């Protein structure tokens, strides 16, 4: 599909009816989506017949664009139920309805819970004395796809959300991550991708202007133009290996089973998880006393 045709298709999609400031929801414009999808598809062959994850799918512009560009299985992930409902409505406007799996997931919380090795882990070690929660933190099974597309939050409302999205995307991608970041953070993103996350390569493949509409109380202008970089990041070699005989459909079904298996634990707060662990250990100790 030619860029102008794709952009025209995406123009008719609904955007956020009630954008949420705490999630820094800004609609990915059809122009921005078209540019990244065209680069990924034409210059790197990362879309057609490939499995794709849209991380932070919102109302679905990148996921739908990928599907229109010939992607195979597409999975859209978001923390916002309302956004997923609006995405589903956009999918239903096509005849037949575009096949995109949708999943409710908070990747920022998952990265914090399972992948943050600093203060929180030390706190867990002290409180739980090396018990099973520490082990569980490393056992989360991430969904996988050839290509991950993400337009992450800037990280101003939820500190570190931009890096958490990037870290999660790197765990999910077999071949490449395409991510948008402010041009002003270019040096920082390069450092995070390569030095902290171990990327095999991290390159800016497009530079664009992102028009942010006046949609939140702190906005004073009708629209602000932000310069953004489109990054193509290759995950570490060890994260990119997959058996060539793997079937994409089977892999995606397994992804969804893994997500379902983790959803109950994901929905628990940190305090609830600790209470659950204490109760489990208390019951275990009680059973041991009965045996004696």
pLDDT tens digits for 21-53?
A: 667 767 888 999 999 999 999 999 999 999 999
Distances (CA, A) of 259 to 11, 60, 135, 146, 178: 32, 20, 18, 18, 22
Distance CA 52, CA 174 (A): 10
What pLDDT, on the 0 to 100 scale, is given for residue 1? 85
Say if CB 77 and CB 107 are below 8 A apart: yes
What pLDDT was estimated at residue 131?
45
Q: How much is the pLDDT for 85? A: 94
How confident is the model at residue 215, as a pLDDT?
54
- Note the pTM of the prediction, 2 decimals: 0.75
Instruction: State the pLDDT at residue 134.
Output: 43
pLDDT number for residue 28: 86
H-run or E-run covering 289: helix 270-291
Q: Round to whole Å and give the CA distance between 190 and 257.
A: 34
Q: Could you write out the DSSP letters of every residue in 221-262? A: SSEEEEEEEEEEEEPPHHHH---TT--HHHHHHHHHHHHHHH
The residue among 56, 50, 24 whose CA lies nearest residue 37 is 50
Is the sign of the CA dihedral 1, 204, 235, 244 positive or negative?
positive
DSSP string, 23-58: GT--PPPHHHHHHHHHIIIIIT--STT--EEEET-T
Domain of 147?
Answer: 3-291
Q: What is the pLDDT of residues 158-185, one digit of tens each?
A: 677 889 999 999 999 999 999 999 899 9
Per run of 10 residues, the mean pLDDT along the chain (length 292 residues) is 92 84 78 94 97 95 97 95 94 92 90 61 41 48 94 74 91 96 92 94 91 56 79 79 54 58 49 62 59 51
pLDDT for residue 117: 46
Domains in the chain: how many in total? 1
CATH number at residue 252: 3.40.50.150
């Amino acid at each position: 599909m030619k860029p102008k045709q794709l952009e025209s298709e995406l123009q008719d999609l609904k955007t956020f009816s009630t954008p949420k400031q705490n999630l820094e929801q800004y609609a990915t414009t059809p122009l921005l989506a078209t540019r990244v999808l065209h680069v990924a598809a034409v210059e790197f062959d990362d879309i057609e017949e490939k499995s794709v994850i849209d991380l932070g799918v919102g109302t679905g512009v990148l996921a739908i664009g990928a599907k229109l560009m010939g992607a195979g299985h597409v999975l859209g992930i978001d923390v916002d139920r309302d956004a997923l409902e609006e995405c589903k409505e956009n999918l239903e406007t096509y005849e037949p309805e575009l096949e995109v799996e949708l999943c409710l997931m908070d990747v920022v919380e998952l990265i914090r819970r399972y992948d943050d090795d600093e203060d929180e882990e030390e706190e867990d070690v002290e409180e739980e004395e090396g018990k099973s929660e520490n082990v569980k933190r490393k056992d989360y099974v991430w969904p996988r796809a050839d290509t991950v597309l993400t337009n992450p939050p800037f990280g101003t409302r939820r500190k570190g959300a931009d890096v958490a999205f990037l870290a999660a995307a790197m765990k999910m991608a077999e071949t490449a991550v395409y991510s948008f970041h402010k041009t002003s953070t270019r040096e920082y993103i390069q450092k995070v991708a390569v030095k902290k996350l171990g990327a095999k390569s991290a390159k800016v493949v497009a530079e664009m202007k992102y028009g942010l509409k006046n949609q939140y109380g702190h906005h004073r202008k009708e629209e602000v133009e932000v310069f953004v970089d489109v990054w193509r990041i290759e995950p570490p070699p060890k994260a990119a290996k997959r058996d060539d005989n793997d079937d994409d459909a089977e892999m995606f079904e397994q992804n969804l089973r893994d997500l379902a298996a983790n959803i109950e634990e994901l929905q628990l707060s940190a305090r609830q998880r600790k209470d659950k662990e204490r109760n489990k250990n208390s019951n275990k100790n009680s059973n041991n006393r009965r045996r004696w």
